[in-house]
């Protein structure tokens, strides 16, 4: 029997119980289902911890952001305080409107672009 290879981010999704939810949503989306109210899924502690772990492993996490901090500055805080801070930021998030635009790129090639417009 061949050993199934699974990358680390997939292992983490299993670890935090997100794999079944996300796979189920993916299958439903292939059947044409549209999803609303996804913020409930985004602010789940499991999802935030998974994102945090993936960011920590990213090579770019050692590049300072606009606030001058790198990932090791953030790792000093307990994970619960990081989760709460992310949730607080997301509570006030208002997505901007986007317009779907198709750009022809030669014969039989079309590029789909989403452009942000408006302020609200």
pLDDT of residue 20: 81
Q: pTM for the full model? A: 0.65
One digit per residue, the tens of pLDDT, for the chain of length 120 reads 444 545 666 666 666 677 788 888 899 999 999 888 888 888 999 889 888 988 888 888 888 889 899 999 999 999 999 999 999 999 888 878 878 787 888 777 777 787 777 654
Rounded Cα distance between 86 and 56, Å, is 15
- The DSSP secondary-structure symbol of 80 reads H
| Residue 48 burial class via C-beta count within 10 angstroms: exposed 0-12, middle 13-18, buried 19 and up | buried
pLDDT of residue 73: 92
């Amino acid at each position: 029997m061949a050993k199934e290879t699974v990358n680390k981010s997939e292992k983490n999704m299993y670890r935090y119980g997100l794999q079944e939810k996300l796979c189920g949503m993916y299958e439903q989306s292939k059947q044409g289902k549209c999803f609303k109210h996804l913020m409930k899924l985004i602010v789940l502690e499991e999802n935030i911890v998974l994102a945090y772990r993936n960011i920590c492993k990213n090579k770019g996490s050692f590049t300072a952001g606009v606030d001058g901090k790198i990932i090791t500055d953030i790792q000093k805080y307990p994970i619960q305080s990081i989760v709460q801070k992310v949730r607080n930021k997301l509570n006030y998030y208002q997505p901007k409107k986007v317009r779907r635009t198709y750009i022809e790129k030669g014969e039989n090639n079309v590029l789909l672009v989403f452009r942000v417009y408006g302020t609200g």
